A and B are shown apart, each in its own frame.
Chain A
Amino acid sequence: MANYFSDHPEIAFHLNHPLMKRIVELKERNYEDAKTYDYAPVDLGDAIENYKQILDITGDVAANIIAPNSESVDLEGPHLENGRMIYASKTVENIEAMRKAGLFGVSMPRRYGGLNLPNAIFSMLSEIISAADAGFQNIWSLQSCIDTLYEAGNEDQRQRYIPRICAGETMSMDLTEPDAGSDLQRVMLKATFDEKENCWRLNGVKRFITNGDSDIHLVLARSEEGTKDGRGLSMFIYDKRNGGVDVRHIEHKLGIHGSPTCELTYKNAKAELCGSTRLGLIKYVMSLMNGARLGIAAQSVGLSQEAYNEGLAYARERQQFGDKIINFPAVYDMLSRMKAKLDAGRSMLYQTACYVDIYKCLEDIARERALTPEEKQELKKYQRLADAFTPLAKGMNSEYATSASTAAAASSWSTSASASTATPASSASTRVPPSCRSSPPSVISSTAPCSRTSRT
């Protein structure tokens, strides 16, 4: 049976990363959890074996449930019903399969019901899911918002929200607004403290919110009246169960149709503060964005892999001028460049994820005890590396994904165009899998294959 993990040994190769041993050491802390949790590892070998097992389950679900569903998800898309976003029917099936597989809240400590996975492993899962359906990867990987809630929230909030994410509830980060896109300092959504109910109230509009009708939202809002810049913004938790936020519109995108991009209206929505006021943008959103950048990097690697697979399979099968087209220099040059960029991009992704893991683990340990001077040095070193590598990993991989998808499509287009009329171009278009029709959200290119299936 197909398996997106075991079929691509390139992924497992990165489990041998030299930093992996240190990451497991910092993450498992003398394997104390094994005394309390029957699924916790007892040593390094056991931990790596667990990672492989989890990757294998994900590879199975991706290949046998998510990938077969992806075309239908892309065609059906989500829709709006009385202010609520309703997922495509097969998206619901995908979410249910991932819940049953226990693959939500994976990065969280076991005491909240999580799997305590490092970011490097989370990124691998993300890559695998993206290869099956890049749009579903958006929905699934937004669970990483819980990392920010864990870091910024208090213990009471952790206990109330984290187990819900581990049980399979979804998340979103509500940041951008009609007049505040890249320039988040201009966020206007208003947060006022309701003395009577002893809670915060949110009023305003958010736009372009991925998975905007999720169960638990992290919302950037202006809590300090009269301020105009980022220092007046705080982060809030909005729980859908409380009501007050409606979906006004779902965007019609060029690709990743299964991932709902929503416009939200907040009408006196009850919310609670997460962390300290005024640190919303400058601290917490920065953390959210760094998580999101790695998510997009992983999404892009998955997309590149699938584009490469499709391009390669087609080039091996298609015959022109009496030969398989893979034997033509122009085609194998294209494919070998795709593979080189794919492998380079993947190495970049996991290298970055390992840097992130080391400093995040040390930061987490620092919540329990004072770090030694050596540990402090280590934290600083890896934080700097992570800061430098994260935007690179995201930028490089999303560009590569676009060029890989374009090249995969081009290898079939060019040969169809030069072929006789017996091979209509439509047969080439069927070679492009749904996941390749979706460009990474950060990249919209007129030459990307997504334009061919555009709904607009």
Chain B
Amino acid sequence: MALKIVVLAKQVPDTRNVGKDAMTAEGTVNRSALPAIFNPEDLNALEQALRLKEQNPGCTVGVLTMGPPRAGEIIRQGLYRGADTGWLLTDRLFAGADTLATSYALATAIKKIGDVDIVIGGRQAIDGDTAQVGPQVAQKLGLNQVTYVEEVQGVQEVQGVKKVTVKRVIDGGVETVEAPLPVVLTVNGSAAPCRPQNAKLVMKYKRATCPLERPAEGTAYDNLYEERPYLTLNQWSVADVDGDPSQCGLAGSPTKVKAVKNIVFQAKESKTLTASDADIEGMIKELLVEKIIG
């Protein structure tokens, strides 16, 4: 079954091995001190997409990312492992986006790509840890979503309806669910690790760049870009995806960072709450009073 799969991927600072200079004096992440990597759970998502491609000949896998021009590396990393194409959303108007503006940008790009069967991304990124973008994209596109996916077991077509079967992690176990396509899936870090880069694909795509990534003075291999169109990666601006600038980047981000503080949890005892409205309201009030949220 020929499916069109879009993998959502983010270039993130590697927060797993942080040194002393990982944070700036203002309490924000010092991106220049940390190596930029492919968000780990997005790699798990890419692996699931590539497995679907192997099971279903004719599938295409594209990597969609948003970031500065150097985030083109994320698309190359995808191509090195078996993705067919990629799109980089890069524009100053996209900069400074919170999860709402990010999911708006990704959703408009997915609409632009068109006829997508499966949108798949990691559960969350290791820089923000919000786990909001995937579900927000689903919401904006009006699609079904399955979160905490551990394994995409396959896609079947029954009476003209394509359905995906996935195993997802729940408290104390796993459950297997079925969802009609198109669908948004977010993949948990416990899913299979991503395959290594492939030698032939690395050699093929090692010079693949977005126009903005190329040095102004040119390179010794500029003639290759004319001969081999696949070496020019798709680079989209707000206008290219017919986006509304007021919903993008800083302008479209209601989240404002007021301050960053280290919170050390000191309480030893735990509380068990029920799902009743009264209990939840009580908890929210307590968190507000303690200034843990708000």
Contacts and interface: CB of A to CB of B under 8 A. Distances in A.
Interface string B195-221: 111111111101000000000000011
A142 interface: no
A54 B199 contact: yes
A39 B205 CA distance: 8
Interface in B222-269: 224, 228, 230
20 contacts: A38-B228, A39-B200, A39-B201, A40-B203, A41-B203, A42-B221, A46-B221, A50-B206, A53-B202, A54-B199, A54-B202, A60-B197, A61-B196, A100-B196, A101-B195, A101-B196, A101-B197, A101-B199, A102-B200, A102-B201
Query: What are the 7 tightest A-B residue pairs by CB atom distance, in nearest-first order?
Result: A39-B203, A102-B199, A101-B196, A100-B195, A102-B198, A39-B200, A39-B204
A53 B206 contact: yes
Contacts of B195: 97, 100-101
A450 interface: no
Contact of A49 (B197, B199, B200, B206): B206
A57 interface: yes
Interface string A12-50: 000000000000000000000000001111100110011
A61 B195 CA distance: 9
Interface in B134-186: none
Contacts of B206: 49-50, 53
A53 B224 contact: no
B199 A57 contact: yes
Q: Which residue among A41, A46, A65 has the maximum number of chain B CB atoms within 10 Å of its CB?
A: A46
Contacts of A39: 199-201, 203-204
A38 B228 CA distance: 9
Nearest to A53: B202
Q: Which residue among B201, B202, B221 has the maximum number of chain A CB atoms within 10 Å of its CB?
A: B202
A103 B199 contact: yes
- By size class, the interface of chain A is 20 to 34
Nearest to A110: B200
Contacts of B221: 42, 46
Q: Which residue among B195, B197, B200, B228 has the maximum number of chain A CB atoms within 10 Å of its CB?
A: B200
B198 A42 contact: no
A57 B196 contact: yes
Interface in A91-134: 97, 100-103, 106, 115
A39 B228 CA distance: 12
A42 B224 contact: yes
A407 to B, nearest CB: 31
A115 B199 CA distance: 8
Interface of B: 195-204, 206, 220-221, 224, 228, 230
Q: Which residue among B198, B220, B230 has the maximum number of chain A CB atoms within 10 Å of its CB?
A: B198
A210 to B, nearest CB: 25
A54 B203 CA distance: 8
A35 to B, nearest CB: 10
A101 B220 CA distance: 28
Given A38-B230, A102-B198, 15 more contacts: A38-B228, A40-B203, A42-B224, A50-B203, A53-B203, A53-B206, A54-B199, A57-B197, A57-B198, A60-B197, A97-B195, A101-B195, A101-B199, A102-B199, A115-B200
A39 B196 CA distance: 17
A436 to B, nearest CB: 25
Contact of B196 (A45, A46, A65): A65
Nearest to B196: A101
Nearest to B228: A38
Contacts of B224: 42
Given A38-B228, A42-B224, A97 B200 contact: no
Contacts of A42: 221, 224
Contacts of B199: 39, 53-54, 57, 101-103, 106, 115
Contact of B204 (A38, A54, A57, A65): A38
A50 B206 CA distance: 9
Contacts of B203: 39-41, 50, 53-54
Nearest to B82: A100
A101 B80 CA distance: 9
Nearest to A58: B199
Nearest to B200: A39
Contacts of B201: 39, 102
Contacts of B197: 57, 60, 101
Q: Which residue among A45, A54, A102 has the maximum number of chain B CB atoms within 10 Å of its CB?
A: A102
A54 B224 CA distance: 21
Nearest to B224: A42
Interface string A52-95: 01100100110001000000000000000000000000000000
Contacts of B220: 45
Contacts of B202: 53-54, 57
Given A38-B228, A42-B221, A60 B196 contact: yes
A45 B228 CA distance: 19
Nearest to B206: A53
Q: Which residue among A49, A101, A115 has the maximum number of chain B CB atoms within 10 Å of its CB?
A: A101
B207 to A, nearest CB: 9
Contacts of B204: 38-39
Nearest to A103: B199
Nearest to B37: A1
Contacts of A103: 199
Nearest to A96: B195
B214 to A, nearest CB: 17
A40 B224 CA distance: 13
A125 to B, nearest CB: 10
A103 B196 CA distance: 11
A48 B224 CA distance: 17
Nearest to A98: B196
Nearest to A55: B199
A60 B197 CA distance: 9
A26 B230 CA distance: 29
B94 to A, nearest CB: 29
Contacts of A100: 195-196, 198
B118 to A, nearest CB: 21
Nearest to A100: B195
Interface string A333-373: 00000000000000000000000000000000000000000
Interface in A231-280: none
A118 to B, nearest CB: 15
B194 to A, nearest CB: 10
A347 B221 CA distance: 33
B81 to A, nearest CB: 8
A314 B196 CA distance: 31
B196 to A, nearest CB: 4
A82 B206 CA distance: 46
Nearest to B197: A57
Nearest to A51: B203
A31 to B, nearest CB: 12
